[in-house]
Structure formats: structure tokens, C-alpha cells
Amino acid sequence: MALYDFDLFTIGAGSGGVAGSRRAASYGARVGICEDSRWGGTCVIRGCVPKKLLVYGAHFADDLKDAEAYGWRLKGKTFDWPSLIAAKNAEIDRLEGIYRKLLSDSGVKLITGRGTLVDPHTIEVAGKRYTAANILIATGGHPVTPDIPGIEHVISSNEALDLKELPKRIVIVGASYIAVEFAGIFSSLGAKTHLVYRGEEVLRGFDGDVRAAVAENFRHRGLKLHPRTEIARIEKAEKGFTLATKSGGNLEADVVMYATGRAPNTEGIGLEAAGVNLTPDGRVEVDEWSRCLVPHIYAVGDVSNGINLTPVAIYEARALAETLFNNNRLKLDRANIPTAVFAIPPVGTVGLSEDKARERGAAIDVYHARFRPLKHTVSGRQERTMMKLVVDRASDRVLGCHMVGDDAPEIMVGLAVALNCGATKRQFDRTIGIHPTSAEEFITMRDKTPEPGPVPDFKIGAEG
């Protein structure tokens, strides 16, 4: 008779929890998983997927305008926000059903309800207790807002995905990728959009030229940026809301959205009872194997102190299943993890920023390409693409690739493979590109940026 009910019990059915549970079950492990909300977690239900669908919808605003420059005559075109939201919801419903089916078809036992740790090997869900040899915590995170007067009037990204109508005026507070992405969505769809943030530039932690390029493109699009600005209070007005800034100014909006941070879902799930250690900011502390101080309890995704990206959570959870149930010790290599910001136009990046590379102390070479894409030379759009390579001078190894422009996330996946193979600038130079494309700029950049020195001037129609 088995000592425990399950070999692995997962609390939370988001991307990481689902991936790890399915992989473990495929190796014959007895797996249970519980979820007290919708199956699919943040990414599928209220994050990456629905947001990307709205980004696609917003892109058509640009495409329709550009089409006229290319000879198309489009009369009577209108946009209907409720139709977009309905289509998004239908797709999320479909995906949730797929996630549930994938789990059940894999032999995973699905349990509906909030999972709470009773002791290091016992989980209680909806009044029933289950025991497990190993426990995976994959409960994700949630948006948080500051404690200021009137904060009850604001929405988060969760509610922004389900607004009943498109606001005419929206103020978005924050400069993270979530804030930047929603600013692009609402602005492109015609809302008068203000982005308010405390710093000098958006996207703290990204390469400086990426941050500047995103802000510049936003300004070209008419989006109003308010750097070095903090909100003191929010008041209900006759129409919408009034936001008072700490510098004495006011902003008016129909909707106020905050995207100023997220916190892990660690409260009320019995972590203390199981002896799980938390970091000062409340995340589950894990080692390189996703293991807590309690050796048979693990955590992945936004609830942990790891890198909070969906593909990372999936990889960590699958690596855990490989290690525990397939005799294949596997762990995440945290170097050269690509990431994207689905702004309009988007950001793609992998490897070290220029600042991070300089902090290492070794000499580097920096290459830039900034140009107006060929598509926009006909449409007249003022959007610019920015590309950048950071190279270790001694070894010639490419340390970082950064791009702001159409298709940046797609291009960056291939460059991530190159960086993980240790590609050098010489190997980039020897590669034959596809012409005319924007991507070929990554392998045709020849002139180093002087050190120190300004970014080179824009080129026009570089693809041509």
C-alpha cells in the first residue's frame, strides 16, 4: 500500500502547475492538482494570451490606416470594442477547456478548490485532505496598488481585459511591461491615453536605448507620457475621475488603471505550517532546483523568487518532473533568457543590456541600427526600429541583442538560440541575411558606437 495518496500534488493550475503535472503523470507518477479559480492561471486567463489578443486587435488600427497608402480604399470602417472582448472571451473559454482536458487525459486528478498545506505532506482542499510525497506550489501572483486616497476607484490589468466599453480617456499609472502594453492597446484603439510613472523612462531594467526608443515611438503615436510624476489622490468627478499629482497638477480620465506591481499568492495557503521559507517580499524561497528549504516542497512561477516569466515557469516545472520521475536531473540555465514586451511596436531582448555588460568590468563594443522600416516609407508613419548588439571585446562573443520594432519578439527567439550557442560577432557578420527584412540589420551592423558617444542618426528605409 502506498504511503501517500499522490507522488506529486500541485497547488495551482496555471502554466507552470499544468506543465509540471502533465509531465510527471506521463512518467507514471500519481498526480493531483487543485485550482480555486479558472484553469489556466494568469497567463491563459488574465495575462499573456488575452492581452496579446487585444494587441492583435489594436494593431488593425494601424494596418487599416497604412493600407490606404498602399492603394486600398476602405470605406465605413468602424471598431466595436464589445465584439473584440467577446471574441477574446470565447478563445479563453476554449483554452481553459483544453487545459482541463490535457490534464485529465494525462491521468492527473483534477480537484476544484483552494489548496492549503496542513503539514509538510498534507494538503486540504474543500474540506478533504490529501497526502503527497512531493508538493509543488504554483499559485501565481496578483496585482497590487499603493495605499493612496481614492485607490478604490482604480482597475488593474485584470479588469482592463473585461471593460464593457472602450474608454475615451484613460490614465495608466506605472511603467512596467504591463502598463506599457495596455497603453499601446488603448492608445491605438483611439482612447486618449496618459502614462504616468515616477522614473525618467519606462521599462526599468531594460537596456537604456530600448527604453528611450519605446518612449519615442509612443510620443510619435500621440500617447501622453508623464515621467517623474506621482499620483497623490484620486477623486470621483462629475464625469470620470480627477487625479491630483504630487507636483500640483491634475489629470482627467474615464478609467484609471494601475500597473505598479504584483505580489505572490502566498497568504492563507498554510506555508508556515509546512515550514516553507519566504523572502522579505513574500515570495517562496527556492534554490536552483525550484526546491524550498523543506526538501520535498517546490515552487515555480510568480509565487517563487525566480524569474517571473511564463516560459520559465513551464521549463522549471517540467525540469522538476524530469528530475523527480524520469531520473533526468534537469535545471534552468538562467543565462540568455529572451523576453518581449508587446508594446506597439513591440520589444524583444535577450542577454545583457549595455549597462549590465559594463558592470562586469570587461571592455565591450556596442553596435546600433536605428531606421525607419521600409513599410513606413510608403505609409508615412514616423515609427522607428531600434536594434542593438552588445559584444565582449576580448572574446568577440555577443552578450546581448535588443530590438524595438515590428516582429521583435519573433526575431529574438532565433537570436536567443545563437547566444546560447556562444555566437560571436564575427559569426553574425558571416551570416547571409534575407533581403529586404528588418532582421538582416542584426547581421549587417559594422560600425561600433564611439565610447562614449551618441547613438547614430536615423537611417531612412534601411530595409531597402
Query: For the chain, where do the domains classified as CATH 3.50.50.60 start and end?
Result: 6-142+263-325, 151-260
* pLDDT classification of 1: cutoffs 50, 70, 90: low
The reported pTM is 0.94
Task: Convert the pLDDT of each residue in 198-247 to its tens digit.
Answer: 999 999 999 999 999 999 999 999 999 999 999 999 999 999 999 999 99
Lowest mean pLDDT among 57-66, 115-124, 125-134, 451-460: 451-460
The single residue listed with the C-alpha cell 493550475 is 13
Query: What is the structure's pLDDT at 451?
Result: 75
What percent of the chain stands above pLDDT 70? 97
Task: Verify cis geometry, omega within 30 degrees of 0, for the bond prior to 338.
Answer: no
pLDDT tens-digit readout, 25-55: 999 999 999 999 999 999 999 999 999 999 9
At the second CATH level, the architecture of 6-142+263-325 is 3-Layer(bba) Sandwich (3.50)
- 66, 379 in Cβ contact below 8 A? yes
90: which 3 cell numbers? 470565447
151-260 topology per CATH:
FAD/NAD(P)-binding domain (3.50.50)
Catalytic positions, please? 435
Residue-by-residue DSSP string for 416-450: HHHHHTT-BHHHHHHS---SS-SGGGGGT--PBPP
Cα–Cα dist 176/20, whole Å = 28
Distance of CA 298 to the CA centre of its chain: 23
Query: Would you tell me the crossing angle of helices 310-325 and 15-26 to the nearest 10 degrees?
Result: 20
Which fold does the domain 339-460 belong to in CATH? Enolase-like; domain 1 (3.30.390)
- pLDDT for 76 equals 85
From-to residues of CATH 3.30.390.30 in the chain: 339-460
Residues contacting residue 250 through CB under 8 Å, at least 6 positions apart: 242, 243, 244
DSSP strand pairing (122-125 vs 262-264): unpaired
What grid cell was written down for 116?
A: 492549503
Could you tell me the maximum CA-CA distance found in the chain, to the nearest angstrom?
Answer: 74
Q: What is the mean pLDDT of the chain?
A: 95
